[in-house]
Structure 1
Amino acid sequence: MLQDSFGRRFYYLRLSITDVCNFRCQYCLPDGYQGQAQQFLSLNEIDTLVNAFAQMGTSKIRVTGGEPTLRRDIVDVVASCAQTEGISKVAMTTHAGKLASLAEPLAQAGLKQVNISLDSLEPAQFALLSGQDKLNAVLDGVESAIVEGMNVKVNAVLLRPWAEAQLRDFTAWLKDMPVTVRFIELMETGQHKAFFKSHHVSAEPHLAALKAQGWQVLPRGKDAGPAIELAHPDYVGRIGFIMPYSSDFCDSCNRLRITALGKLHLCLFSEQGLDLRESLESGNVQAVKDFVASSLADKKVSHYLQEGITGITKNLSMLGG
């Protein structure tokens, strides 16, 4: 089992397969994708990587981007992960613009959970925040994933001045919608420091208000992400909060990240990526295992976001959030 010097164990790998995205979310890529054509991880390299992590105790893989559904081989990527011995859950984070047509083949390939980025249920506001007038397509994707039996989670970034409306609209939606909506505090990144200062909202008072309304905190699974999730007997859906600025956020860290170019990041906000590409290209599973295990000695106790340190992360599309 992978373990760092602070006793944290790592069951969960976030695997980016592209940094390309065709949405223009205000807090990530407001001017659209500006990257150059690059050679992202091949299916064979992904297979080597996932086998190495599975042999080290990883049981959950989250496929991320950019937007992972822009890869033509996305179904094959999911199938490769799901068929790896030791991997019990494959999840994906997506804007869901293409999910309505992909939900069935992805489910058949082994996708168990999908996290959908959706910051507003109001069409004009959705278009403003995402840069795309595709709310209906995203909602169709939500419905298709539910029909296919996936565990569906919706990620909404809390933003001033819309936070109150976001919470009101999504909470009402959850009355009959069998999904979990997680409200995420806006995180500062290298390219968006001014946006962060003008739009950041703390989730703490909203969490306290929901508890006062009878929402109960649920136990956290060993392969779960950092969200605090709550349920209410009068609601079909659930609510979660991801609060990276809370003092204990990093205490339960259980995940590592690989970029679409084959670099290991020990933290979303690390200063550099550690290059695994040579071992992945050669298919050397043992070399990957040795490199990752030795690298964990350098994992820090915290991301240091509270101090305004954002590391190499210019935008969230770089590392898949």
Structure 2
Amino acid sequence: MMLTDAYSRRFNYVRLSVTESCNFRCTYCLPDGTDCHSRSGELTLAEIRRLIIAFAKLGAKKVRITGGEPSLRKDLTEIIATCKAVPGIEKVALTTNGYRLKRDAQAWQEAGLDAVNVSVDSLDADTFHLVTGQDKLADILAGIHYAKAIGIKQVKINTVLLKQHNALALPDFLNFVKQQDIALRFIELMRTGDNANFYQHQHLSGASIQQQLLADGWQLNPKARTDGPALEYSHSDYQGKIGLIMPYSKDFCADCNRLRVSSSGQLYLCLFTDTYQDLRSLLQTDDSATLMRFLQQSVQGKAFSHQLTQDYSGSTRHLAQIGG
């Protein structure tokens, strides 16, 4: 069985937010800090297990655990182990701000973590502090190197493109990946409900970076079946890779393979939808058949594309809401 929508897109990749809370104050996401006053409504470990079992029975192969900041969940190691233990799940990944990476990476790997993406929006300590509200760049970079050293299979860096903060920093990022087998992905800033003014001042297209990479001999790599939306490039002179996530580009949604579930059990068919389906009531028993039918019916209503180019971001207030 496979989750397939009306446009014949197959969904084998689940992005699961486990909390909306975050301990960073990134300018493009939560500049005033987290707005979560209570975390009592977050999915329990048992509910997460039932959810992932149903998705796996419908062909899901990959789970990415996101937030907010997922390491704020005290049971994150157990969540990783639970997802990895589900038959059919081949890859468990984590997106984190890296705050607890050096402390917990060993436990996460032993629980079954295959890949980790770490948000690093600048390699300059002062700029990093300005963007994130945390003076932690050195610690986070140390955590990235530690994750590589202990053998986590894939370690990637996510960098949000910001016109006033890192638009001229491509040489620094290229130098960073020259001698390190790390994939660094530039992500175009996306319009959300809370950042309209910030978006107008800071949005930077990834097209200029793409053109420069191609002009300098970088080659586009083929995608694996559970890969996300990044276009990843490699170069024979560099150990690492450079990726680009450009949601405003033509046909960005044509090969979508991802569905999202919020930390309170709401199914989002798109990051920028204005509706969602509540799965919580279907996660209270181990009978996955009803949940599977609901998921199959729901994906038929998935739109072909987001409407970001029409300046419409749906009900997404900020990227911490359902993990970006």
Q: Bin the TM-score by the shorter chain.
A: over 0.9
Question: In the alignment, residue 88 of structure 1 is paired with which amino acid?
Answer: E
Q: How many residues align?
A: 321
**How do 1:134-213 and structure 2 match up within 5 A?**
134-150=136-152, 151-213=154-216
Aligned partners of 1:177 and 1:13: how far apart in 2?
A: 29
Query: Which TM-score applies when normalising by structure 2?
Result: 0.98
Tell me what 2:90 maps to: 88
Query: Which TM-score applies when normalising by structure 1?
Result: 0.99
Runs of 4+ with >6 A deviation: none
Aligned partners of 2:266 and 2:143: how far apart in 1?
A: 31
Match of 1:115 among 108, 114, 117: 117
8 Å CA contact 2:231–2:245 kept in 1: the answer is yes
Question: In the alignment, residue 23 of structure 2 is paired with which amino acid?
Answer: N
Higher helix fraction (1 or 2):
1
85-94 vs 145-154, greater mean Cα deviation: 145-154
| CA apart distance, 1:162 | 2.9
Percent identical among aligned pairs is: 45
Question: Do residues 309 (structure 1) and 293 (structure 2) align?
Answer: no
| CA apart distance, 1:161 | 2.1
**Residues 124-163 of structure 1: CA distance to partner in whole angstroms, max 9, x if unpaired?**
0000001111111211110111012220110000111233
Kindly report the root-mean-square deviation, in angstroms, between the aligned alpha carbons of the 2 structures: 0.8
Question: In the alignment, residue 291 of structure 1 is paired with which amino acid?
Answer: F
8 Å CA contact 1:265–1:273 kept in 2: the answer is yes
8 Å CA contact 2:53–2:288 kept in 1: the answer is yes
Tell me what 1:7 maps to: 8
Aligned partners of 1:36 and 1:298: how far apart in 2?
A: 32
Question: Do residues 287 (structure 1) and 307 (structure 2) align?
Answer: no
| CA apart distance, 1:240 | 0.3
Say which SS state the counterpart of residue 317 (structure 1) adopts.
coil
Tell me what 1:42 maps to: 44
Tell me what 1:24 maps to: 25
Question: In the alignment, residue 33 of structure 1 is paired with which amino acid?
Answer: T
Q: Which runs of 5+ in 2 are unaligned?
A: none
Aligned partners of 1:250 and 1:320: how far apart in 2?
A: 18
Tell me what 1:228 maps to: 231
| CA apart distance, 1:287 | 1.6
Match of 1:269 among 269, 272, 287: 272
Q: Which runs of 5+ in 1 are unaligned?
A: none
Tell me what 1:52 maps to: 54
8 Å CA contact 2:121–2:166 kept in 1: the answer is no
Match of 2:71 among 61, 65, 69: 69
Aligned partners of 1:284 and 1:316: how far apart in 2?
A: 32
Tell me what 1:296 maps to: 299
Question: Do residues 219 (structure 1) and 222 (structure 2) align?
Answer: yes
